[in-house]
Structure 1
Amino acid sequence: MKKLKTFQFMEEFDHEQVVYFYDKNTGLKGITAIHNTDLGPALGGTRLWNYKTEEEALLDVVRLSRGMTYKAAVAGLNLGGGKTVLIGDPKKVKSEAYFRELGRFVQSLNGRYITAEDVNTSTSDMGFVAMETDHVVGLHGKSGNPSPFTALGALYSIRAALKVQFGDPTIEGKTFSVQGAGQTGYYLIKYLLGDNEHGDIAKKIYFTEINETYIERMKKEHPEVEFVKPEDIYGLDVDVFSPCALGGVINDETIPQLKCSIVAGTSNNVLKGEEHGAQLKEKGILYAPDFVVNGGGLINVYHELKGYNKDAATADVKAIYDRLLQIFEIAKVQDIPVNIAAMQFAEERIKSIKNMKPSYVKR
């Protein structure tokens, strides 16, 4: 019997806690990973995926939760990083009871972990979770669907990358390839087509997607956006490649195919390995680290914890532009890959807050 590498992964990714849970009646089966709570409670969405093995699910949740720690720290939020993955077929397992059982589990963590929607879960699903716990965000009537805000953060990240790579942040006249058009990729394409405060319109956009419903929606709403086969998306001669689906797409096989100048997308864990950031640097491709780019959704739901104000949340999302310029400058000065510079940026904030001298202040 093959042993799971739980403690090995916890040590490798420096985790505080990994918890397994199961409910026989609903078929709920999942893992929650709490990476770091130095800045505050761990927040991260619940992803539902039909993982081939438990080890695949474990590796995904520990990598994703670590990314959430960095995402929150870089965004200047008082949050730690966590994540939940549910193992199952999204077309078969979802029900009210299923998500209410998830809510009871989240409640059992006593506020150390706050959840939200993610891949294959929705705002409506989180409504069922909220029936059993207060430790859930991204609800109807509050901050709602985080995808438009995640995409907005990606837009401002792209503008920052264009500023560094071409000396001008405007997207006018630039070409793009977007991988994934279901949620964040869909909204990003709308922004690139002119639905933005600057009125910039991309010269050309290509997209790929594996879900026929999303393909047909894009073709119907925006026929000017050209569909390409999934295997052809990497080799397109474009200014910006935006991965907005699952992670690990920048790897030994895809990097030689890339003809873009910038990689900036909303996917988590875009790089299959940290070494691939160095490979992009060597190739002269500017990489905008995923946990900086896709921080908009987290920033938006964080405002829900404080008392939601859409204008304030939007302003904080747009601030990703300046934060990313800082990270690009660190990478340039130290002559290191941008993904390493971003991790240093996040770790420095965590360390500085953790080491604050305790002193009594009456509130």
Structure 2
Amino acid sequence: MTLTVTDLKAPEGFERLVRAEDAEAGLRALICIHSTVLGPAAGGCRMWAYGGEAEAIEDVTRLARGMTYKNAMAGLGLGGGKSVIIGDARRDKTPAMMRAFGRAVEALGGRYYTAEDVGISPEDMAHAARETRFAVGLSGASGDPSPWTAEGVFRCLLTGAAHVFGSDDLRGRRVLVQGLGHVGMDLARKLAAAGADLVVTDIHAEALRIATADLGAAVCEPGAVFEQQMDVYAPCALGGVITDDSAARLRARLICGAANNQLATPALARSLRARGITYLPDYVVNAGGIISVASEIHGKDDAWRRARLDGIAGRVAEMLVRAGAEGRCTTDIADEMVGRMLQGRSAA
């Protein structure tokens, strides 16, 4: 098999963007390194049926930058990167493709660690690991990071609820979970156990069947999310769901979910705040998965993971207090906190 790794022009402020191709293995991938200021870049590999390379580049660069911020806020000693494989994970993915992807990661010489993301499982990553030392999130090591992501989102949601509603008691609170993948379903289970009035939506009928049968959840159509009355909105599918239109229609007081890049544009944070909606920055609250992966990179145990989950909930509490006291958006506070971390390390 012949793998080619080609450098593309990286956006301003990014360190590297490469295209990896192996026609025989069916691999078309992009790997983006945003920053290694705080350590080697780390971020998952996503497989998605993008409309073309331009769309994939837009996604991978946004995700890589988000990983820099996420890893910094979680205190992981890692920089930010991301990778995407262009294709339908349910139809196109093969062990040979994942091995070719592993060779592409290895070609970067340790500047980027990869792990699971949308469309990629620990079993898939095990195939990649046959070709690279820098594939993590493996069964028998840190394993599937999804439960840790869900736990982190849940803890941050409780912190946000205490701030917005005056109590973290979710009994009777109407919470809508959008997207029932591994993370969304785990979060839905935690919310149901906490007594939330659970509403779910997903494009897959089997996921909805499980949520209704096992969790007693109500179902709404994917296109009707922003017409629903709710207390908490938990977006757990793909990003960009909060647009000018959806922000104007959203009927919630708190947004806390696992999806990356939930805001279509940064300015929407101000629009939400003006409507009295508290938004918890996604790159802060969904850091549980990369915390789990980082424990494997650094050789740490579950106690280390739990301490960092406590840390991200603590940072959410801090930014909520500061945002209220200073009359600013939570996103501005969070970005400012990360900026100080990166500047301090660069100066050092």
| TM value normalised by structure 2 | 0.95
CA contact under 8 A between 1:61 and 1:83: conserved in structure 2?
A: yes
When the two chains are superposed, the root-mean-square deviation of aligned CA atoms in Å is 1.3
2:178 maps to 179
Aligned partner of residue 90 in structure 2, secondary structure: helix
2:105 maps to 106
> Deviation of residue 93 (structure 1)?
2.2
Q: Once the two structures are superposed, what CA deviation does each residue of 1:265-297 show, in whole Å capped at 9, x if it has no partner?
A: 000000000011111011000000000010010
In 2, the alpha carbon distance for the partners of 1:179 and 1:24 equals 35
In 2, the alpha carbon distance for the partners of 1:94 and 1:76 equals 33
Paired letter, 1:331 = A
The aligned runs of 1:38-117 (5 Å cut-off) are: 38-117=37-116
> Deviation of residue 69 (structure 1)?
0.3
Question: 1:355 and 2:344 equivalent?
Answer: no
In 1, the alpha carbon distance for the partners of 2:248 and 2:324 equals 23
In 1, the alpha carbon distance for the partners of 2:109 and 2:291 equals 22
In 2, the alpha carbon distance for the partners of 1:221 and 1:308 equals 34
Q: Is there any run of 5+ residues in structure 1 with no aligned partner, and where?
A: 1-5, 195-199, 357-363
Paired letter, 1:350 = L
CA contact under 8 A between 1:26 and 1:93: conserved in structure 2?
A: no
> Deviation of residue 352 (structure 1)?
1.3
2:198 maps to 205
1:360 maps to none
Question: 1:135 and 2:128 equivalent?
Answer: no
1:10 maps to 11
> Deviation of residue 308 (structure 1)?
4.1
Matched residues, number: 341
In 2, the alpha carbon distance for the partners of 1:345 and 1:152 equals 23
CA contact under 8 A between 2:75 and 2:308: conserved in structure 1?
A: no
Q: Sequence identity of aligned pairs in percent?
A: 37
> Deviation of residue 314 (structure 1)?
2.4
In 1, the alpha carbon distance for the partners of 2:261 and 2:160 equals 18
1:234 maps to 226
CA contact under 8 A between 1:179 and 1:245: conserved in structure 2?
A: yes
Q: Once the two structures are superposed, what CA deviation does each residue of 1:160-182 show, in whole Å capped at 9, x if it has no partner?
A: 11122122223233220010112
2:5 maps to none
1:263 maps to 255
CA contact under 8 A between 2:200 and 2:211: conserved in structure 1?
A: no
Question: 1:290 and 2:291 equivalent?
Answer: no
Which moves more between the two structures, 81-90 or 266-275?
81-90
Aligned partner of residue 305 in structure 2, secondary structure: helix
Aligned partner of residue 213 in structure 2, secondary structure: helix
1:218 maps to 211
> Deviation of residue 215 (structure 1)?
1.7
Instruction: Determine which of 298, 312, 317 is the counterpart of 2:304.
Output: 312
CA contact under 8 A between 1:114 and 1:135: conserved in structure 2?
A: yes
In 2, the alpha carbon distance for the partners of 1:111 and 1:69 equals 16
In 2, the alpha carbon distance for the partners of 1:131 and 1:152 equals 30
Paired letter, 1:212 = A
Aligned partner of residue 91 in structure 2, secondary structure: helix
CA contact under 8 A between 1:65 and 1:83: conserved in structure 2?
A: yes
In 2, the alpha carbon distance for the partners of 1:172 and 1:302 equals 34
| TM value normalised by structure 1 | 0.91
In 1, the alpha carbon distance for the partners of 2:129 and 2:40 equals 17
Q: Is there any run of 5+ residues in structure 2 with no aligned partner, and where?
A: 1-7
Aligned partner of residue 57 in structure 2, secondary structure: helix
Paired letter, 2:210 = R
1:33 maps to 32
> Deviation of residue 129 (structure 1)?
0.7
Aligned structure 1 segments of 4 or more residues deviating by more than 6 angstroms: none
In 1, the alpha carbon distance for the partners of 2:214 and 2:167 equals 29
